[in-house]
Chains A and B, each alone.
Chain A
Amino acid sequence: MSEMRRITYREAVREALREALSRDERVFLMGEDVGAYGGAYACSLGLLEEFGPERIRNTPLAESGFVGAGIGAAMNGMRPIVEIMTINFSLLALDQIVNNAATIRHMSGGQFSVPLVIRMATGAGRQLAAQHSHSFECWFAHIPGIRVVAPALVADARGMLPAALADPDPVVIMEHATLYNVEGEVPADGELAVDLDRAAIRREGTDATIVTYSANVMKALAAAEALAGEAIDCEVIDLRSLRPIDDATILASVRKTHRAVVVDEGWRSVGIAAEISARIQEQAFFDLDAPVERVCSVEVPIPYPSHLEQAAIPQPETIAAAVRRTLRR
């Protein structure tokens, strides 16, 4: 095994950006305040000085405009990385993403590809209230023609960007805003790009499978840790990719544990947890010893006060309770 080093999630993103910009002349970063400000979450701090304003391209507040421009540039020989400050503002660019980025390859009968990477921060937990805290990942994961990934671990924050850039089609990277300060390990050298297709088992266990992604992986691990004290042994799966979804890893686990809990910071109705749950029940119904449980955000716009916000989103305690229900404990 190669040696490891510890960096933050933010540093991992920045390092991946720097590497991409250094390796490929066609790569450029574009978005609001990515320049002098260094990005809303400081991911591009220092890159303007290093690569100049042509390639660290600060944009006006014009989400639809610059995302659309990223699509055009990608179709015409460049490899843009577009940063949208948060998923909440990506709604202003949804038309470009859905009606152009995701469809042009198909509508043109395969003549044009859109090798575009879009990064955005997502998620709740920082008391930013209802216009800055939502998780719309499932809206993107719904759409054929784009790939959607969500790095939970620092190594994925580091390795998903180069992999996304190598993809000939649009890739959306969802970075949970509560993770930027989290430290984790990445290999000290060698190839850091990771496989985008496969889910990962973050903890092995035999009694129940917790399927989740992004910041909730850590909450699921905390729940698993607590349950270990009750002699309940959980397996924790980090989806990593929300489109496509790696059914094989999920199903192999469920066939072993016979119980599944799906955790998602999106709302419960018509969301990612519903999708995972349906896939399990379609493909592993007779392996299940209990109904699939879902732990999702409560159906309310995220409120400002901490106690309400925390009550609205999944917690290790609510995840653990769902696991116990599958075991009738």
Chain B
Amino acid sequence: MSTAQERVHLSHEHALRLLREMLRIRRFEEKAAELYSAGKIRGFLHLYIGEEANAVGVMQALTEEDAVVATYREHGHALARGLPMGEVMAEMFGKVNGSSRGRGGSMHIFSAPRRFYGGNAIVGGGLPLAVGLALADRMLGRSCVTACFFGEGAAAEGEFHEAMNLAALWRLPVLFVCENNFYAMGTALAESESNLDIAAHAGVYGVPAEVVDGMDVVAVEAAARRAAHAVRQGEGPRFLEARTYRFRAHSMFDPDLYRDKAEVEAWKERGPILKFHDWALGSGLIHESGVEALEKEIAREVEAAVAFAEGGAWEPVEDLTRYVSTGDEAAA
């Protein structure tokens, strides 16, 4: 028997919400790329363009009490999780009004109020952390889910396997979400796994796993709702493998020479925003005028986020050693 929590209710409002959330990420990322070229954002910048359906779909299945762990490709997750766009942008500028006071930058977005536990730039590093977050929730008697996002590249790391076993062994409330975009930097999946079926890797630890079309936001939401519901019921961890694709290079340093242009184009044709937009329009769930209004609203939000970041202060150099140990938060 399925309950309300488990199902997707595709009302007009919900369809608009899904489209809005995906478009917010897309437009934010496009602006970030522009600002990177302008030198406002520095270091590594990993864009989420093409993968928006995953973060947006999964977040629909989470409540405010749930926790989220992400990677260095996490701007989309942060936005979908409800972090204010201005704070995310300011973080990428390195300003003090950023979500992590500018200390972490693009790869290390954190938010305690949103239970957003980073922004981890060590591949696989977030998985054991998620196990621990879930362990604490369980020991403290909370019925929360910890959603842990990572790329398929992480599945080769020992930490993936150790975390999977621990979560299964202790039946912890973790929702593992593998965003399989088929490339870890320049390494294709077939070059990195003896068994290409990533979901099967979770299966051997007894973690029920499902493969979902990561370009279909409704499919992702539906799968995430089912999985999160099971986790919440105390059935132990669940695993989703979302098959997806990054439309841009790995980072701004990557010349992207290892992928066939035709392959990239083919994936773009089934892009998550394009696909959902066309489908929702066709089925009369949303209207072109509504989409136009949405684009305008998002353009204003992005503009405001940039202004917020531009207007932010730099942390004074005298405060360099703050936030290393608890108790040193006060200015020097």
Cα of A312 to Cα of B1 in the assembled complex, Å: 58
Subset of 17 A-B contacts with CB under 8 Å: A33-B185, A35-B186, A36-B186, A36-B257, A60-B184, A60-B193, A65-B156, A127-B43, A127-B105, A128-B107, A299-B321, A303-B320, A304-B108, A305-B105, A305-B315, A307-B314, A307-B317
Q: Which of A35, A37, A60, A61 has the most CB of B within 10 A?
A: A61
* Interface size class, chain B: 35 or more
A37-B186, A62-B157, A304-B103 known; A131-B121 Cβ under 8 A: yes
- Residues A36 and B108 in contact, CB atoms below 8 Å apart: no
A61-B154, A127-B42, A130-B104 known; A37-B324 Cβ under 8 A: no
- Residues A131 and B321 in contact, CB atoms below 8 Å apart: no
- Residues A305 and B314 in contact, CB atoms below 8 Å apart: yes
Cα of A125 to Cα of B153 in the assembled complex, Å: 27
The residues of B that contact A127 with a CB separation of less than 8 Å are 42-43, 94, 105
B53 to chain A, nearest CB (A): 24
Question: In the complex, what residue of chain B is closest to A41 when comparing beta carbons?
Answer: B253
Query: Of B107, B123, B186, B187, which is within 8 A of A129 by CB?
Result: B107
Tally of contacts, chain A with chain B, CB under 8 A: 121
Is A168 in contact with chain B by the CB < 8 A criterion?
no
Contact with A along B300-318 (1 / 0, CB 8 A): 0000000000000011010
List the 4 closest A-B pairs by CB distance, nearest first: A37-B186, A305-B94, A304-B105, A60-B156
A68 to chain B, nearest CB (A): 11
* Interface size class, chain A: 35 or more
Which residues of chain A (100-139) have a CB below 8 Å from chain B? Answer: 126-132
Is B191 in contact with chain A by the CB < 8 A criterion?
yes
Q: Which residues of B contact A (CB under 8 A)?
A: 42-44, 94-95, 102-105, 107-108, 120-125, 153-154, 156-159, 184-187, 191-193, 254, 257-258, 314-315, 317, 320-321, 324
The residues of A that contact B95 with a CB separation of less than 8 Å are 305
A300-B320, A304-B94 known; A61-B156 Cβ under 8 A: yes
Question: In the complex, what residue of chain B is closest to A301 when comparing beta carbons?
Answer: B324
A96 to chain B, nearest CB (A): 11
Contact with B along A7-50 (1 / 0, CB 8 A): 00000000000000000000000001101111010000000000
The residues of A that contact B192 with a CB separation of less than 8 Å are 58-61
Q: Which residues of A contact B (CB under 8 A)?
A: 32-33, 35-38, 40, 58-65, 88-89, 92, 126-132, 298-301, 303-308, 311-312
Question: In the complex, what residue of chain A is closest to B328 when comparing beta carbons?
Answer: A300
Given contact pairs A61-B157, A303-B315, a sample of 13 additional A-B residue pairs in the complex whose CB atoms are under 8 Å apart:
A36-B257, A58-B191, A61-B123, A92-B158, A127-B105, A129-B103, A129-B104, A129-B107, A129-B121, A130-B104, A131-B125, A305-B314, A306-B42
Query: Of B124, B191, B254, B321, which is within 8 A of A300 by CB?
Result: B321
Cα of A306 to Cα of B192 in the assembled complex, Å: 35
